[in-house]
């Protein structure tokens, strides 16, 4: 396994924006595109999670130069996790894009079901010749998703908006439940995930500065519950942007 590029450790959790994982002579490369969007490249596929913006053009460049099967995942309908541009992205005739979109996005954004490989719902797995996908609940909206890349056996997890949204300082402003109820929900979802995936090679997970002093609470609980080789932070905000 190659060493992570630009990696740093915070409270024992290793963070990086760019990894290459070598296993069984297969290569898995992960790049953070922007906010909560990641590009995962295997020997035979490109997996794009929660595309919103591509300010450096990295995603467009990768897609334009590949002949691999392309997958788009959408965890939920929030504007910072879904861009309808994915429905219009040019595809080759022999390898049409495969879109896996959460049930709430289909409903709220009126995404045509006939364009999709799958409507993601918790407990409804998807599988084809290249990947195996298990959607799980979220502590906010939509789904979180686990993926096994068959060419390497590598396991991935994209949290979407799954987190312990423990706004201890201002719960009424952010939560419809108490921080304690939020934490109980979050931990119950982690138990469900661990039943399917006892460990992960790569996890893409919110480390949101709006949580203030509790920003690392959810990530630490994840690491305590599900062993994870590499933890990729996401959901950082531009100054002045509000959801």
Q: Are 35 and 53 in contact (CB under 8 A)?
A: yes
pTM above 0.75, yes or no: yes
pLDDT at 51: 97
Q: What does the pLDDT look like over 124-133, one tens digit per residue?
A: 999 999 999 9
The bridge status of strand 13-15 relative to strand 8-10 is antiparallel
The bridge status of strand 200-206 relative to strand 154-158 is parallel
Mind listing the domains of the chain with CATH numbers? Answer: 13-234 (3.60.15.10)
Does the pLDDT of residue 240 top 70, yes or no? no
Strands annotated E in 65-117: 69-74, 98-102
Alpha-carbon dihedral of residues 33, 220, 145, 14, nearest 10 degrees?
40
- pLDDT above 70 covers a percentage of the chain that reads 84
Q: Are 144 and 222 in contact (CB under 8 A)?
A: no
| Residue 48 vs residues 45, 73, 140, 178: alpha-carbon distances, Å | 10, 6, 21, 34
* CA angle, residues 10, 53, 114, in degrees to nearest 5: 115
User: Which of 18-27, 172-181, 209-218 shows the lowest per-residue confidence on average (mean pLDDT)?
Assistant: 18-27
pLDDT (mean) for 49-69: 94
């Amino acid at each position: 396994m190659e060493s992570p590029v630009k990696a740093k450790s915070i409270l024992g959790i290793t963070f990086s924006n760019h990894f290459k994982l070598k296993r069984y002579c297969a290569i898995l490369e992960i790049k953070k595109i922007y906010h909560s969007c990641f590009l995962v490249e295997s020997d035979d596929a490109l997996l794009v999670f929660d595309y919103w913006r591509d300010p450096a053009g990295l995603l467009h460049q990768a897609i334009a130069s590949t002949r691999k099967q392309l997958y788009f995942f959408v965890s939920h309908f929030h504007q910072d996790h879904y861009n309808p541009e994915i429905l219009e992205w040019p595809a080759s005739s022999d390898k049409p894009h495969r879109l896996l979109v959460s049930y709430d996005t289909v409903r709220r954004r009126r995404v045509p079901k006939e364009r999709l490989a799958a409507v993601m719902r918790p407990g409804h797995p998807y599988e084809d010749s290249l990947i195996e996908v298990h959607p799980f609940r979220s502590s906010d909206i939509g789904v979180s998703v686990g993926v096994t890349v068959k060419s390497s056996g590598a396991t991935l997890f994209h949290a979407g908006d799954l987190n312990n949204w423990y706004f201890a300082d201002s719960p009424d402003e952010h939560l419809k439940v108490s921080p304690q109820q939020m934490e109980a929900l979050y931990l119950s979802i982690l138990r469900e995930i661990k039943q399917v995936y006892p460990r992960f090679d790569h996890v893409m997970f919110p480390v949101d500065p709006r949580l203030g002093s509790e920003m690392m609470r959810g990530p630490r609980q994840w690491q305590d519950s599900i062993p994870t080789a590499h933890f990729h932070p996401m959901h950082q905000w531009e100054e002045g942007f509000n959801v």
